[in-house]
Structure 1
Amino acid sequence: MAKDMITRTTITPVSELLSQTVLVIVDTVNAAKEVFIQRENFNKFSNYLGELALILKELSKLDSESYESLRDALEILSHETKFGKQIALECSNRNKIYLLKNCRKIGELLEGSTREIGRSLSLIPLESLGVCSSVSNEICQLCKNMMEASYSAALEEEAISKKFELRIQEGNADQSLENNLVACMSEAFGMATDRSALNKEFEEFRSEIEDGRLRSIDVAEARKMEQIIALHEQADAATCTSPEEKQKRYIMMRSSLGRQPLEPLQSFYCPITLDVMTDPVEISSGRTFERSAIEKYFAEGKKDCPLTLIPLDNLCFRPNKNLRKSIQEWKERNNMITIVSIKSKIQSSEEQEVLQSLGKLKDLCLEQELYREWLIMEDYVPVLIGLLGAKNCDIRTISLDILCILAKDSDDNKERIAKADHALESIVCSLARRIEESKLALQLLLQLSRIDAVRDVIGHVQGCMCLLVTMLNSDDPHASKDAQELLDNLSSLDQNVIEMAKANYFKPLLQLLSSGQEHVRLIMAETLSEVDLTDHNKMSLFREGALGSLLQMLSHGNLEMKTVAVKALQNLSSIPQNGLQMIRDRALGPLFELLYRHGLSSPSLRELVATIIMHLAVATCAQEAEHLHISIVESEEEIFKLFSLISLTGPDIQTSILRTFQAICQSPLGPDVRKKLRQLSAVQVLVQLCELNNQTVRTNAVKLFCCLTKDGDDSTFLEHVGQRCIETLLGIIKTSSDMEEIAASMGIICNLPEDTQVTQWLLDAGTLEIIFTCLTDGNRNASYKRPVVENAVGALCRFTVSTNREWQKRVAAVGIVPVLVQLLGSGTSLTKQKAAISLKQFSESSAALSRPVKKPGVFSYCLAAAPETGCPAHLGICSVESSFCILEADALQPLVKMLGETDHGVCEAALEALLTLIDGEKLQSGSKVLSEANAVAPIIKLLSSPSSRLQEKTLKALERVFQVAELKQKYGSSAKMPLVDITQRGSGGMKSLAARVLARLNVLDEQSSYFG
């Protein structure tokens, strides 16, 4: 709706122009009153124009000499009013469907026109005209109101517009959506719900599109209009036919078909995409293309025909309705043949064929309601119900999914499903199966419960109430909500029965589990294996007797019965309390029998059993098992038999057994089991597993390997851990993304024997650089990184021993010393302890490596050169790299601070590191350094430590410190009382040491009985 340009041919008198403008306004008001859609908005627009007409009539009464100043304002006002009239006329003549679809756009156009007219009104020169104040105020107020005007579509019109958009987005002709839309449109048009009258509106709408009356709209909008027409035609065809006529037409179509689908005609293919078209459109060259493909082609700036390359007169296109209809008929014909032929395939004994066929069937159901009707006419419902008894859970799940889709279409479909033989019983059985299947079964029952006749039956199906209440307590909020809604729908049932089921929902399930009916026991056991249960639920089930029933099923001769029992036990054994009860109730015997005897069980069943055994092993490590001292394997023979399966089974069982032994090794009986595993050459097997590509198996092998290195003798590992193994472990640390695997690998290196050859292999393989990376890599999650750092610092201790200064130099050259100092303040207790040990070992070499201070020569005095300053502790020239001095590394204060830690190991390591400063001849200078660092007072406090080992080291330290008269005088009095306390309460050796220190302080005579 573009505005016409204003063209002047002759000069019209202003008085005449004023009259013409008033007439235009009146015509526009009359046109607005004829608009059927958006009446409220057009009435509002008319009221503005009515006020404007009255104002212009008032202006016509003014002196004609002042009219000329009105000319420009009137010309613009007349033009803008004509534009408003054009909007009103088009809305009067346009099809109602178009107007409803574009209600928002019409409101925007009307709003723009009103504001432009308001702006035109503001151009009237009120002062030069000499308009009285009352009229001037009216004009200003009307101008303001029009320039601020806003229009919105009526709620029902907005709702219809949104429904149009929804149908276009979903792209299907859903009958229920169509019926709802018909009712809304009929109300908006003020007519009865008469589909024929509405069809007439759609027919006129289609004619307007085809005749080009809507060509002014853009391509995207035109496509939406065509989609609305197409969807209405499909839905109308489906709605206007009775069930009997549909059945008759379907039989006629089916009887005329062959057995094989037809290949598409060449004309069905788009020349651009080379695929069968879904929305063919014809361009000005007469060639047809897929709409989306040609739109993209034109959007790229091309203006020729993609086939002939001849330039096009225009880039417009129109739907090729005949071709689209032919393609649709071809597709429907082939899909009908597919639906007919699939029925026999889904009853095949070949599971893969059944699954593929069900997948095709589901896709067709989702594609179009018409295909779902054909499924009903082909009597698929009983066949799908029959598949709910299939052993393959995927077959059952897809069948339920299709039934859910069919049930949503109509109440008639719901009744068909519910009346099929054993339908409700089969659906209820699916409630007891795996989570995905049970959710679909619940949704289907919820759909069916909306029919009165079905609702009365559902709640009385055996086991239904029990299973529903179980799902009511599910961790899945959607399943819980659906279960609650279904229970609410079962209003015909006695509410006392429902409430009792909620209060005791496990009791009916357990009664069914111990029932004599084998198929019912299978279903209940499967429920326990797949339903979401809280830990409290699992414990309650064991307390109520579920374990006894499941163990009884475990010993059943039927393999299927064993399998569902094992699945249920796997689910319930995941909490320690249940695991311990299973051990007490002798569940291990039948479980090991299934695990060891290949002929009794399938590989998948053995995998489940291995998982249960792992759960039981984990239970022996729990706090509840501390006083029991139980293990799932105790004798060397049992350990060997279980461990040997690692070399004879697949990855899943291997993983479970490795985790089992990890748990056993960490239990109270762990040290004994670790010793037996080492004697059985388990290390050799684990070394081989560390080289596997299967990361899960490898990770668990590395973890168990790490467990065995914690307290093993050196010979065990020196026999099996060679250079290749070390390179493998370092490779894991460098490449693995699993922090636990990295920590375990570093733990093995940390725990390896401190053998010269092993250490040299580690150095040659670049271990120091890898340790440095582990200690400084800040990209990893701190909580996961902690064990890696602890083991890396522990592994470093072997390289910092003072007996090999070459190794120490290599460590210092990498830059690790500053990192160790940093860890003294930020690491865990174990990290601080290990870091302090390395720094202590470094410091033991410092006195010997400290370079003597050069005496200044004659030339130095002449040149006034600054003399070298020696280290206050070592009295020579020190550095971190050359003498490994802890003072130069700024480690003194962090070490002193560590003396106040609650962890005795940390205090001891810090103390030993500090005492290296007073070793040998450096007592005087080192003691002074300790005093200036305020270290002596914290050392004295350690005399009150509950650790006798730490007390002993402290006594020996103070015995040396108090040899320095200055320190004895300064700190002696504060040490007397703790020392006296040790002489009275300590052991014989400790008393003697304390007495010697007191003698240093002149408190005891050296002949005292404490020295006895």
Structure 2
Amino acid sequence: MAKDVIISLSLVPASEVLNHIVLGLFETAQAAREVLFQKENFRRFSTYLEKTSAILKELAKQNLDHSESLTTCLEILDRELKVAKRLVVECSKRNKVYLLVNCRKIVNQLDRSTKEISWALSLFPLASLDGSLSINSQIDNLCKDMLEAEYRAAVAEEEILAKIELGIQERNGARSYANDLLIQIAEALGLSTEQSALKKEYEEFKREIEDTEQRKEQEAALQMEQIIALLENADATTSAEEKEKKYYERRNSLGSQPLQPLQGFYCSLTHEVMVDPVETSSGQTFERSAIEKWFVEGKNLCPLTNTPLDTSALRSNRTLQQSIEEWRDRNTIITIVSTKQKLQSNEEEEVLQSLSKVQELCTERDLHREWVTMEDYIPVLIGLLSAKNREIRKRALSILSILAKDTEENKEKIANVDNALGSIVHSLARQHEESKLALHLLLELSASDTVRDSMGNIQGCILLLATMLKSDDNQNAREAQELLENLSFLDQNVKQMVKANYFKPLLKHLCSGPEDIRMSMAETLAETELTDHSKLLIVKDGALGPLIQMLSHSDLEMKKVAVKCLLQLSKLPENGLQMIREGVVGPLFEVLYRHSLQLPALREQVAATVMHLSISTTSQESNEERALLLESEEDCFKLFSLISLTGPDVQQNILKSFEALCQSPFGLDIRMKLRQLSAVQVLVQLCEANHHAVRANAVKLFYLLTKDGDDDTFLEHVSQRCIEALLGIIETSNDVEEIAAALGIVDNLPKSSEMTQWLLDAETLRIIYMCLADGNRDASYKRQVVENAVGTLCRFTVSTNQEWQRSVAEAGLIKVLVQFLASGTAFTKQKAAIALQQLSESSKSLSKPVKKFRIFQCCISASEASCPAHLRICGVESSFCILEANAVEPLVKMLGEQDVETCEASLDALMTLIDPQKPQAGSRVLDKANAIAAIIKLLSSNSERLQGKCLKSLEMIFQLDELKQKYGSSAQMPLVDIAQKKGSDLKEIKSLAAKILVQLGVLGAQSSFF
């Protein structure tokens, strides 16, 4: 960056000053682009500086004389340039946390500088210059933009500042508050949340205080000291050793006896020590909640002085509050120190009372938990797990759980005490309440990688946990299962065995227990996270029968629990089929139709279960066993009619159900029933639904119904508005399957002239081009969307309407179709070849004759080259000639494809080059492209239809003696094989093969082959 120069503006030529400012603005703009903090704001500021620099550079070329207006302008620009340089340097070098807490100042400075520079530009004496109107307009526009410019701190930054202000205001010393704040700051700045990284950033931030104090920025220094006091409570900012040292310094400065509160600490209304003291307009202090209650009761006089009070004027007494907090903390530390000795007493009652006090303190504040840990309570508490008194053990487990949950360090401290894990595991085998507390503590400890690695090796741990899986206490069973899953070193087979052992007793009670027990077992099953293996085992071991009975029970709560279980189990297709076989469909629909309207959540769960059952019918196993979900037209009608009566969640599940059923082995029957029910009319309306998932599923089902539907159904319900809605989906949706389905619908719509014209008027060709030319999409997009897009094009390329064909050519789609001959899927290649074939059928009539020049014209003008196939003047857009479009080579390659229909399509396209009346030119083109050998090879195809097409092609080609001689010998054997085939249905192709053999001179015209 250029060095600042102190310039006396009145002594230096104006142009020189201006050049200095131009250079400074440009360099500052470049530096601003490199600032990482407030990146977007500095980029916007940089843009304004660059534009200002460019305009001033032009103005500097003028002959400028000092005037009052120009001098003011230059002074402002010079001043703001220095401010901007300083701001850019600071934001590039200073600590990120410092910048964040000052982000409002930085944003305000950017805003002020932008407005000042705008003001300076507006003062430039343009009237005295010979400048053009263009420069005046540029300055006006830039000044307007800069005046309207807005710089804002990010939402995350504002939230952090608000949290800092609240923490300072409330003097919040909670470690959790500081931890959350520090993490929030790190995430907003893109810093690592590792403790070492946070510690380093915090130390750098502290060093900023020294710089701030040296600059005598007292207000900023005070603010940072308050922020540091807030953040120093976080785990990352102060090491355990530093915290411990600070604690013991404070602890050792205290006496051994708690102090009584000062009289001023008491509220005269509650007669208790205040928590949130506030001062009233009379100068007296009360507990906030007490004086507010006093005012609510209509009392407006001071309780002590009896003078009138301003009820809106309550000011927090921070000094008194701080004194009270210090008194409380002092007494708490003394209590924690003295109580530890009492825990080692032989008097059980004293130990229990002491444990209650410690538990109460640990629950109150995280700072208290920190002090308890520093006083080395953990080994003492672990020791109490061996006490004979059950209540002592339970209290010790509860306190250890609170401490374990607090920090990762505490988890490790507990585990590192000699035989600590063994003592806790031993408590698992004791009575229910103690066992539950021990399990909860182990679950907390298992969140630590270090502790978890050694926990499972404790003798009896796994066995005890497996036993607890069978507990009647659902919470216990779930925590035992979660803990087992946390022990990642366990073999998966062991985990499955443990889960299987858990479910066996559950299923036993579910199948044969009393009603209340069955209900309890079903609730456990519904709430338990199950693996696929567990789901299979549960169904295999007979859970469906009892659940279906519960589904048919008169008690609504039983129905709810049964539905939740069935919903979870039905997610596995094998289970879905088994459910259908065991008769779940009838009771499930009964719940859906009779109870669901008053219970939306139940209706949604039933609809989701039906959807899973529908998906299961798409499997091959379903075809073999005829697993029918909707047997009658009435079933189909009742389920489909719910689409119009329910909300989005149920709608999309029912649509998904029908989508799956339409693709099942019985899909044809389902599609026919839906069309009879006028489902198309409903789906057309849903194509404009606001809910994306509902619309997408409706479009996919609509597509399936168009695959084999009759034209009359769609001509009746599909309007021009529907077409526009479908095209809008194709153009704007991000759902690949929805786009592909919408294109498929357009492809399958009736090929009527009116509907095709609607499509053209709605710019369908432009949208198709967009789909085919989008190279940024993934392979999945190309495969699904491109196939349907190319298929849709075929309706516009029919040779019966050359105006439609011309629209395709003018849209640049012929070139795209040729590209897909080489790179598309088999289906895409087939459809592209069909489209090109239809276009090529018009080439002869659209080609132009070659001009004949007179003798003198011939000397002057070169004759136009004619098309080798059509012997006339051809073009891609003028006559749709596939030879001119370079489509012949990829079409010939397609003759070698494995897919028969692809071969047929390419052969049909190539044969449009041959005029049946004059086959010579086209046949020579195919010979040059090596197509004839490929056609002869296809004579060995298993497809009789393809063989027939090849024979017709060769019959025309072999009218040329030169080609007959060149290829006749290679064609003889395949032709003889066809001619000798047996079967009355092969008569036509046998006769055609024999005719070609006559052409080749292999057979006589009167051969018995005819």
What interval of TM-score do these two structures reach, taking the shorter chain for normalisation?
0.5 to 0.7
Deviation at 1:508, TM superposition (A): 3.0
Judged with a 3 Å threshold, the aligned counterparts in structure 2 of structure 1 residues 460 and 918 are, in CA distance, closer, same or farther, namely: closer
2:981 alignment partner AA: R
- In structure 2, the partner of 1:927 is 923
Aligned residues: 680
- 8 Å CA contact 2:772–2:786 kept in 1: the answer is yes
What pairs with 1:206-217 in structure 2 (closer than 5 Å)? none
Establish whether residue 842 from structure 1 lines up as the match of residue 849 from structure 2.
no
1:913 alignment partner AA: A
Judged with a 3 Å threshold, the aligned counterparts in structure 2 of structure 1 residues 405 and 942 are, in CA distance, closer, same or farther, namely: same
Deviation at 1:782, TM superposition (A): 1.8
Deviation at 1:529, TM superposition (A): 3.5
Q: TM-score, normalised by structure 1?
A: 0.59
Separation of aligned partners in 2, 1:453 and 1:719: 74
Judged with a 3 Å threshold, the aligned counterparts in structure 2 of structure 1 residues 976 and 247 are, in CA distance, closer, same or farther, namely: farther
Out of 974, 981, 995, the residue aligned to residue 977 of structure 2 is 981
- In structure 1, the partner of 2:580 is 583
Query: What's the CA shift string for 1:733-772, capped at 9, x where partnerless?
Result: 1111111111111110011010100011100000000000
1:463 alignment partner AA: K
Out of 963, 966, 988, the residue aligned to residue 970 of structure 1 is 966
- 8 Å CA contact 1:594–1:601 kept in 2: the answer is no
Query: What's the CA shift string for 1:963-988, capped at 9, x where partnerless?
Result: 22221221122112112212222522
Establish whether residue 463 from structure 1 lines up as the match of residue 470 from structure 2.
yes
Separation of aligned partners in 1, 2:745 and 2:574: 32
SS of the residue 2:962 aligns to: helix
Separation of aligned partners in 2, 1:598 and 1:243: 69
What pairs with 1:171-320 in structure 2 (closer than 5 Å)? 262=276
Judged with a 3 Å threshold, the aligned counterparts in structure 2 of structure 1 residues 459 and 874 are, in CA distance, closer, same or farther, namely: closer
Separation of aligned partners in 2, 1:537 and 1:372: 46
Separation of aligned partners in 2, 1:419 and 1:640: 58
Judged with a 3 Å threshold, the aligned counterparts in structure 2 of structure 1 residues 423 and 733 are, in CA distance, closer, same or farther, namely: farther
- 8 Å CA contact 2:818–2:887 kept in 1: the answer is yes
2:968 alignment partner AA: G
Deviation at 1:501, TM superposition (A): 4.2
SS of the residue 2:624 aligns to: coil
- In structure 1, the partner of 2:907 is 911
Separation of aligned partners in 1, 2:713 and 2:964: 51
- 8 Å CA contact 1:469–1:483 kept in 2: the answer is no
Judged with a 3 Å threshold, the aligned counterparts in structure 2 of structure 1 residues 777 and 454 are, in CA distance, closer, same or farther, namely: closer
Separation of aligned partners in 2, 1:1002 and 1:456: 90
- In structure 2, the partner of 1:991 is 990
Out of 924, 932, 938, the residue aligned to residue 936 of structure 1 is 932
SS of the residue 1:627 aligns to: helix
- In structure 2, the partner of 1:684 is 681
- 8 Å CA contact 2:846–2:879 kept in 1: the answer is yes
- 8 Å CA contact 1:427–1:441 kept in 2: the answer is no
Deviation at 1:246, TM superposition (A): 12
Establish whether residue 869 from structure 1 lines up as the match of residue 881 from structure 2.
no
Separation of aligned partners in 2, 1:952 and 1:821: 26
Deviation at 1:545, TM superposition (A): 1.7
- In structure 2, the partner of 1:566 is 563
Deviation at 1:914, TM superposition (A): 0.4
Separation of aligned partners in 2, 1:750 and 1:722: 15
- 8 Å CA contact 2:810–2:877 kept in 1: the answer is yes
- 8 Å CA contact 1:943–1:955 kept in 2: the answer is yes
Out of 886, 902, 909, the residue aligned to residue 890 of structure 1 is 886
SS of the residue 2:879 aligns to: coil
Separation of aligned partners in 1, 2:715 and 2:361: 62
Deviation at 1:635, TM superposition (A): 1.7
Separation of aligned partners in 1, 2:361 and 2:988: 85
Out of 750, 774, 779, the residue aligned to residue 776 of structure 2 is 779
CA RMSD of aligned residues (A): 5.3
- 8 Å CA contact 1:774–1:789 kept in 2: the answer is yes
Query: What's the CA shift string for 1:882-934, capped at 9, x where partnerless?
Result: 01010111100100000000011111110100010113334110000001100
1:924 alignment partner AA: Q
- In structure 2, the partner of 1:510 is 507
- In structure 1, the partner of 2:631 is 634
Query: What's the CA shift string for 1:676-723, capped at 9, x where partnerless?
Result: 211111000000011111000000000000000001110000000010
1:866 alignment partner AA: A
Judged with a 3 Å threshold, the aligned counterparts in structure 2 of structure 1 residues 689 and 754 are, in CA distance, closer, same or farther, namely: same
Separation of aligned partners in 2, 1:501 and 1:561: 28
- In structure 1, the partner of 2:825 is 828
- In structure 2, the partner of 1:1001 is 1000
Separation of aligned partners in 2, 1:365 and 1:781: 56
Out of 798, 801, 805, the residue aligned to residue 798 of structure 2 is 801
- In structure 1, the partner of 2:785 is 788
2:935 alignment partner AA: I
Judged with a 3 Å threshold, the aligned counterparts in structure 2 of structure 1 residues 992 and 553 are, in CA distance, closer, same or farther, namely: same
- Worse-matched range after superposition: 523-532 or 742-751: 523-532
- In structure 2, the partner of 1:525 is 522
Deviation at 1:370, TM superposition (A): 6.3
Separation of aligned partners in 2, 1:771 and 1:330: 78
2:557 alignment partner AA: E
SS of the residue 1:918 aligns to: coil
SS of the residue 2:875 aligns to: coil
Establish whether residue 879 from structure 1 lines up as the match of residue 875 from structure 2.
yes
- 8 Å CA contact 2:686–2:695 kept in 1: the answer is yes
Establish whether residue 325 from structure 1 lines up as the match of residue 306 from structure 2.
no
Separation of aligned partners in 1, 2:915 and 2:256: 105
- 8 Å CA contact 2:465–2:480 kept in 1: the answer is no
Judged with a 3 Å threshold, the aligned counterparts in structure 2 of structure 1 residues 405 and 695 are, in CA distance, closer, same or farther, namely: same
Judged with a 3 Å threshold, the aligned counterparts in structure 2 of structure 1 residues 258 and 419 are, in CA distance, closer, same or farther, namely: farther
Judged with a 3 Å threshold, the aligned counterparts in structure 2 of structure 1 residues 498 and 887 are, in CA distance, closer, same or farther, namely: closer
Deviation at 1:542, TM superposition (A): 1.6
Query: What's the CA shift string for 1:488-527, capped at 9, x where partnerless?
Result: 9xxxxxxxx9997467444233224335255654454344
Judged with a 3 Å threshold, the aligned counterparts in structure 2 of structure 1 residues 933 and 690 are, in CA distance, closer, same or farther, namely: same
Deviation at 1:819, TM superposition (A): 0.6
- In structure 1, the partner of 2:663 is 666
- 8 Å CA contact 2:506–2:521 kept in 1: the answer is yes
Separation of aligned partners in 2, 1:467 and 1:932: 80
1:992 alignment partner AA: S
2:955 alignment partner AA: E
1:752 alignment partner AA: L
Q: Among all aligned residue pairs of Structure 1 and Structure 2, give the percentage whose two residues are the same amino acid.
A: 53
Deviation at 1:1000, TM superposition (A): 2.1
Out of 947, 950, 955, the residue aligned to residue 954 of structure 1 is 950
What pairs with 1:726-805 in structure 2 (closer than 5 Å)? 726-805=723-802
Judged with a 3 Å threshold, the aligned counterparts in structure 2 of structure 1 residues 781 and 234 are, in CA distance, closer, same or farther, namely: same
Judged with a 3 Å threshold, the aligned counterparts in structure 2 of structure 1 residues 460 and 949 are, in CA distance, closer, same or farther, namely: closer
1:480 alignment partner AA: E
Structure 1: gaps spanning 5 or more residues: 1-169, 178-208, 268-319, 334-360, 374-399, 432-437, 489-496
Establish whether residue 858 from structure 1 lines up as the match of residue 865 from structure 2.
no
Q: TM-score, normalised by structure 2?
A: 0.59
- In structure 2, the partner of 1:142 is none
Separation of aligned partners in 2, 1:452 and 1:1010: 90
Out of 642, 654, 657, the residue aligned to residue 657 of structure 1 is 654
What pairs with 1:705-716 in structure 2 (closer than 5 Å)? 705-716=702-713
Query: What's the CA shift string for 1:319-363, capped at 9, x where partnerless?
Result: x99678248579999xxxxxxxxxxxxxxxxxxxxxxxxxxx999
Deviation at 1:958, TM superposition (A): 1.5
Query: What's the CA shift string for 1:238-273, capped at 9, x where partnerless?
Result: 999999989999xx9999677997476699xxxxxx
What pairs with 1:686-705 in structure 2 (closer than 5 Å)? 686-705=683-702
Separation of aligned partners in 1, 2:731 and 2:496: 59
